[in-house]
């Protein structure tokens, strides 16, 4: 049985990046028959000394991703003293970035994992917004960071998605006179809910265009002025009952309204 060569992967974070690089290189040599021994979260010279002793014993390579200057310098110094080949996988490229872009790196371990976690939180929020869109499952109201309520065509869905990209879990509930609002709406803290209103003229314009896009007549009850007034009056009564802040979305871009929502919630939750 052929004994595998050993490569020590050393990192002041998880060490996944270094391990992936070592595996990629190893595949170019005899099908990647190397043993990778990962040493994660090294935070002092004693941790590095432990690896130096092992690497010297196994006559192996150290591949590392260390961004803390003191630890990197110590590992380089000790590896040279012991005749161990130590390969820095980050700093050459980091130095190139610093030179080319005239900026200095943060030199904080774990930043990439932090970015990954932010990404997955955003994906989770987007999936939440899709699942609890348009009041399809009232259970989402109790789980949401933000609940948007309003009549049809007050931008509830696009606002939910926009806020989801900022990692907020958003549920939205349409207010329709013929459909009682879910009980959950009256059980959440008022600071978690935002009511969206719009001027009757603007809503009439939006709904008329919507009907045209669907190939329907503009005189349908959906776009009639009286129907709109009835819906807005009903929605206002529900919003007052909930006791939530109210934002007028007339002639506002999604980004502008979202900014107002976050400002209002920040103010409400700081009280």
DSSP 77-98: HHHHHHT--EEESSHHHHHHHH
Q: 186 with 239: CB under 8 angstroms?
A: no
Q: Residue 154 is part of a domain; what is its CATH number?
A: 3.40.50
Gap between the Cα atoms of 20 and 216, Å rounded: 57
One domain, residues 78 and 212: no
pLDDT of residue 216: 82
Q: What is the mean pLDDT of residues 113-117?
A: 66
C-alpha span between 87 and 11 (Å, rounded): 12
CB 10 within 8 A of CB 45: no
The reported pLDDT for the residue numbered 12 is: 84
The pLDDT tens digits for 47-79 are 999 999 999 999 999 999 998 889 999 999 999
Lookup: tokens for 152: 């049809």
The pLDDT of residue 219 is above 80? no
Domain shared by 34 and 159, yes or no? no
Measured distance CA(182)–CA(139) in Å, rounded: 9
55 and 21 within one domain: yes
Check whether 160 has a pLDDT greater than 80: yes
Q: What distance in Å separates the CA atoms of residue 234 and residue 237, rounded to the nearest whole number?
A: 5
Tokens of residue 100, six digits: 């080319």
State whether 243 and 156 are in the same domain. Answer: yes
Instruction: Compute the distance between CA of residue 72 and CA of residue 68 in angstroms, rounded to an integer.
Output: 6
Average pLDDT of the residues of the chain: 90
Mean pLDDT of the region 198-210: 94
pTM of the model: 0.63
Render pLDDT for 117-140 as a digit per residue (tens, 0 to 9): 777 888 899 999 999 999 999 999
Nearest CA-CA partner of 164 in 193, 122, 119: 122
Instruction: Based on the fold, state whether residues 102 and 127 are members of the same structural domain.
Output: no
Q: What is the count of structural domains for the chain?
A: 2
45-58 vs 69-82: helix crossing angle, rounded to 10: 30
User: Which is more confident, 232 or 213?
Assistant: 232
Which among 72, 92, 109 is the end of a domain?
Answer: 109
**Which SS3 state, helix, strand or coil, does residue 193 take?**
strand
Annotated binding site for ADP: 150-157
Residue 18 makes CB contacts below 8 A (sequence gap 6+) with 9, 10, 11, 38, 63, 64, 65, 89
Mean of the pLDDT values across residues 208-217? 85
List pLDDT tens digits, range 12-46. 887 888 888 998 898 888 656 788 999 988 888 99
Please report, for the domain that includes residue 37, its CATH number: 3.40.50.20
Which of 173, 174, 156, 162 has its CA nearest to residue 126?
A: 162
Q: Domain of 252? A: 117-269
Task: Mark which of 69, 90, 109 sits at the end of a domain.
Answer: 109
Residues 93 and 219 in one domain: no
Tell me, yes or no, whether 84 and 146 share the same domain: no
- 3-state secondary structure at position 160: helix
Kindly state the average pLDDT of the residues 77-101. Answer: 90
Examine the domain organization and report whether 100 and 122 are in the same domain. no
- C-alpha span between 55 and 123 (Å, rounded): 41
- The counts of H helices and E strands in the chain are 10, 8
Tell which of 54, 79, 109 closes a domain: 109
Same domain membership, residue 232 and residue 162: yes
What percent helix, strand, coil does the chain show, rounded to 5? Answer: 55, 15, 30
CA distance 149 to 161: 14
| Pairing label, strands 86-88, 146-150 | unpaired
Shared-domain flag, residues 142 and 263: yes
> Using one digit for the tens of pLDDT, what is the confidence trace for 220-257?
889 999 999 999 999 999 999 999 999 999 999 999 99
The pLDDT value given to residue 3: 66
Residue 271 has pLDDT above 60, yes or no: no
- Entry field: residues in the chain: 271
41 and 122 share one domain: no
Looking at the fold, whether 144 and 77 belong to one and the same domain comes out as no
Q: How far apart are CA 68 and CA 73, in angstroms?
A: 9
As annotated, the binding site includes 150-157
DSSP character at residue 170 = E
């Amino acid at each position: 049985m052929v004994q595998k060569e050993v490569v020590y992967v050393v990192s002041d974070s998880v060490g996944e990046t270094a391990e992936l690089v070592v595996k990629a290189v190893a595949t170019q040599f005899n099908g990647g028959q190397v043993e990778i021994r990962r040493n994660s979260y090294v935070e002092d010279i004693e941790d590095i000394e432990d690896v130096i002793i092992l690497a010297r014993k196994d006559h192996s390579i150290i591949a590392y991703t260390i961004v803390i200057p003191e630890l990197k310098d110590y590992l380089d110094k000790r590896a040279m003293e012991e005749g161990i080949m130590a390969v820095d996988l980050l700093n050459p490229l980091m130095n190139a970035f610093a030179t080319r872009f005239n900026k200095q790196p943060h030199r904080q371990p774990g930043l990439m994992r932090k970015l990954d976690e932010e990404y997955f939180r955003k994906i989770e929020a987007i999936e939440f917004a899709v699942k609890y869109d348009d009041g399809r499952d009232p259970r989402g109201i109790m789980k949401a960071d933000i609940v948007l309520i309003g009549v049809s065509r007050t931008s509830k869905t696009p606002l939910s998605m926009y806020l989801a990209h900022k990692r907020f879990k958003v549920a939205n509930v349409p207010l329709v006179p013929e459909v009682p609002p879910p009980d959950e709406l009256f059980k959440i803290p008022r600071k978690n809910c935002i009511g969206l209103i719009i001027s009757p003229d603007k809503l009439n314009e939006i709904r008329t265009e919507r009907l045209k896009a669907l190939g329907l007549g503009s005189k349908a009850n959906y776009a009639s002025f009286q129907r709109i007034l009835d819906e807005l009056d009903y929605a206002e009564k529900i919003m007052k009952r909930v006791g939530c802040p109210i934002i007028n979305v007339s002639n506002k871009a999604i980004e502008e309204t979202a900014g107002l929502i976050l400002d209002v919630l920040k103010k409400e939750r700081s009280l």
